[in-house]
Amino acid sequence: MKQKQLFSIKLFPGICFVTFLALTSILGWTIPAGAADEKPIKIGVVTFLSGGAAGPFGVPARNGAEVLTEALNMGGKVPTPYATKGFGGAPIELVFIDEAGGVTKQVTEYRNLVQRQNVDLVIGYISSGDAIAIPPVAEELKKLTIIFDAGTPRIFEDGSYKYVFRTGAHATMDNVAAAYYVTENKKIKKIAGINQNYAWGQDSWNDFEAAMKALNPGVQVAVSQMPKLFAGQYGAEISSLLSSGAEVVHSSFWGGDLEAFVLQAAPRGLFKKSTVVLTAGETAMFRLANQIPAGTVIGGRGPHGVFAPDNELNRWFRKAYQERYALFPTYPAYKMVQAILGVKAAYEKAMAAAGGKAPNQDQIIAALENLTYETPSGKVEMALGKGHQAIQGTAYGTVKHVKGQLTIANIKHYPAAKVNPPEGVKSEDWIKSGFKKTK
Q: Please report, as residue ranges, which positions from 203 to 262 form the binding site for another protein (by CB under 8 A).
A: 223-228, 230-233, 235-237, 239-240, 242-243, 255-256, 259-260
Question: Of 125, 129, 107, 109, whose CA–CA distance to 117 is shortest?
Answer: 109
User: Per CB under 8 A, does 169 bind another protein?
Assistant: no
- Considering beta carbons, is residue 48 or 414 the nearer one to another protein? 48
Our finding on whether 336 is near another protein (CB under 8 A) is: no
Q: Is 355 exposed, middle or buried (0-12, 13-18, 19+ CB in 10 A)?
A: exposed
Query: What DSSP character marks residue 112?
Result: I
Between 73 and 202, CB nearer to another protein: 202
Select the span of 19-27, 180-188, 304-312, 395-403 touching another protein (CB under 8 A): 19-27
Q: Which of 76/269 has CB closer to another protein?
A: 269
Q: Residue 335 Cβ, how far from another protein at the closest point, in Å?
A: 18
Residue 152 as a binder of another protein (CB under 8 A): the answer is yes
Q: Does the footprint of another protein cover residue 268 (CB under 8 A)?
A: yes
Q: Are 399 and 406 in contact (CB under 8 A)?
A: yes
Report how far residue 314's alpha carbon sits from residue 321's, in angstroms, rounded to the nearest whole number.
10
Applying the rule CB under 8 A, the residues between 48 and 107 that interact with another protein are 49-52, 54-56, 58-59, 96-98, 101-105, 107
User: Nearer Cβ to another protein, position 87 or 161?
Assistant: 161
Q: Which helix (H) or strand (E) element contains residue 6?
A: helix 2-28
- Cα distance between residue 143 and residue 120, in whole Å: 7
- From the CB of 326, what's the least distance to another protein, in Å? 12
Q: How far is the CB of 243 from another protein (least distance, A)?
A: 7
In this structure, the strands spanning 297-299 and 275-278 are parallel
Give the nearer residue to another protein in terms of CB position, either 116 or 413. Answer: 116
For residue 329, state whether it binds another protein (rule: CB under 8 A): no
Phi then psi dihedrals of residue 411, to 5 deg = -75, 130
Separation between Cα atoms, residue 377 and residue 354, nearest integer Å: 29
Which one, 224 or 375, has the nearer CB to another protein?
224
Q: CB-wise, 30 or 372, nearer to another protein?
A: 30
Among 19, 74, 83, 140, contact with another protein (rule: CB under 8 A): 140
User: Residues touching another protein: how many (CB under 8 A)?
Assistant: 88
CB of 140 to another protein, least distance (A): 8
Binding piece for another protein, criterion CB under 8 A, among 161-169, 263-271, 331-339, 347-355: 263-271
53 contacts 128 by C-beta, under 8 angstroms: no
At its nearest, how many Å lie between another protein and the CB of residue 27?
6
Residue 70, burial from CB neighbour count under 10 angstroms (0-12, 13-18, 19+): middle
Smallest distance from another protein to CB 133, Å:
3
Q: Where are the beta strands (DSSP E) in 183-266?
A: 190-194, 220-225, 248-251
Footprint of another protein on residues 269-288 (CB under 8 A)? 269, 287-288
Q: Annotate 306-354 with DSSP letters as a single string.
A: GGS---HHHHHHHHHHHHHHSS---HHHHHHHHHHHHHHHHHHHHHHHT
Cα 398 from Cα 318, distance rounded (Å): 22
Closest CA to 241 of 288, 193, 189: 193
Q: Where are the alpha helices (DSSP H) in 29-112?
A: 59-74, 103-111
Q: Which of 39, 79, 85, 133 binds another protein (CB under 8 A)?
A: 133
What 3-state DSSP class applies to 355?
coil
Q: How far is the CB of 6 from another protein (least distance, A)?
A: 6
For another protein, the binding residue among 89, 93, 183, 199 (CB under 8 A) is 199
Burial of 231 (0-12, 13-18, 19+ CB in 10 A): middle
Closest CA to 296 of 404, 205, 181, 173: 181
Closest to another protein by CB, 202 or 311: 202
Kindly list the strands in the beta sheet with 372-375, ordered across the sheet, starting from the edge strand earlier in the chain: 92-98, 41-47, 121-124, 145-147, 164-166, 389-391, 378-384, 372-375
370 lines the binding site for another protein (CB under 8 A):
no
Q: Which of 19, 38, 75, 263 binds another protein (CB under 8 A)?
A: 263
The answer to the question of residue 4 lying near another protein (CB under 8 A) is: no
Q: What is the nearest approach in angstroms of another protein to the Cβ of residue 142?
A: 10
SS3 155: helix
Chain positions 394 to 433 lying near another protein, rule: CB under 8 A, are none
- Rule CB under 8 A: is residue 293 a binding residue for another protein? no
Q: Is 5 in the site for another protein (CB under 8 A)?
A: yes
Residue range at the interface with another protein (CB under 8 A); choices 46-54, 344-352, 356-364, 388-396: 46-54
Which are the contacts of 129, defined by CB distance < 8 A and separation ≥ 6?
102, 103, 199
Q: Site for another protein (CB under 8 A): which residue of 63, 69, 84, 128?
A: 128
